[in-house]
Amino acid sequence: MIIGDNILTAIGLFSTCGLMILGLLATYPAVKAYEKGKSFGKWYLFSVLLFPVALIASCLIKTGGHTKA
């Protein structure tokens, strides 16, 4: 068998690969929000936890410039 005889080995391998792919994909909404003036770290965490919602939200947010009072 290619993966191994232990089912736990397969579960660990696929979950690790899944987390790596999620971490990579989560950068897209974070970068998109950062380009619009939002915090990269907050959006990255939001993207990791709720990727589909963050992807839609990052496309819909407006460019946030600093306003003068």
**Whether the predicted pLDDT of 5 surpasses 90:** no
DSSP alpha helix (H) spans, the chain? 7-25, 27-35, 40-49, 51-60
pLDDT at 18 over 90: yes
31 Cβ neighbours under 8 A, 6+ residues apart: 40
Q: What is the pTM of this model?
A: 0.74
Q: What is the pLDDT of residue 69?
A: 46
In the chain, what percentage of residues exceed pLDDT 70? 84
Give me the pLDDT at residue 22, please: 93
Nearest by Cα to 61 from 32, 40, 19: 32
